[in-house]
Amino acid sequence: MEYDDKIRSKMGLVVCLRDMGNGNSRIFIDDVKSDQQKLPINWKHDYFYTFTPEFNNKVIDEMQLSDDDFQKIGEAVVARLLALNAG
């Protein structure tokens, strides 16, 4: 695909970074469901999926997570998208 055709899946993820107030932050991942597959789409919360351990805010701010942490986050995202969009 060489351009954005503005079509999306019915299920997706929303990812947010929450400051926990103690010098650490955590990444939350939730499932969302679209009201249609063509943009503009309204996404509605569907289900809580997971969250990461707490990371020091300085580490997050400087994007200094370990390769293992980055890999785990990416794997969680791809695995959940595959599960949501299977059959």
Tokens 């990371």, residue?
55
Tokens 């010098």, residue?
23
Residue 9 — pLDDT band, cuts 50, 70, 90? very high
Count: domains in the chain: 1
- Tens of pLDDT along 22-47? 999 999 999 999 999 999 999 999 99
User: Distances in Å between the alpha carbon of 54 and those of 13, 58, 75, 85?
Assistant: 20, 12, 18, 29
Q: What average pLDDT does the segment 69-87 reach?
A: 95
- Tens of pLDDT along 49-63? 999 999 999 999 999
Residue 5 lies inside a defined structural domain of this protein: no
pTM value > 0.95: no
Q: What average pLDDT does the segment 60-83 reach?
A: 98
**What confidence score (pLDDT) does residue 46 get?**
97
Residue 54 lies inside a defined structural domain of this protein: yes
Q: Which domain holds residue 52?
A: 11-84
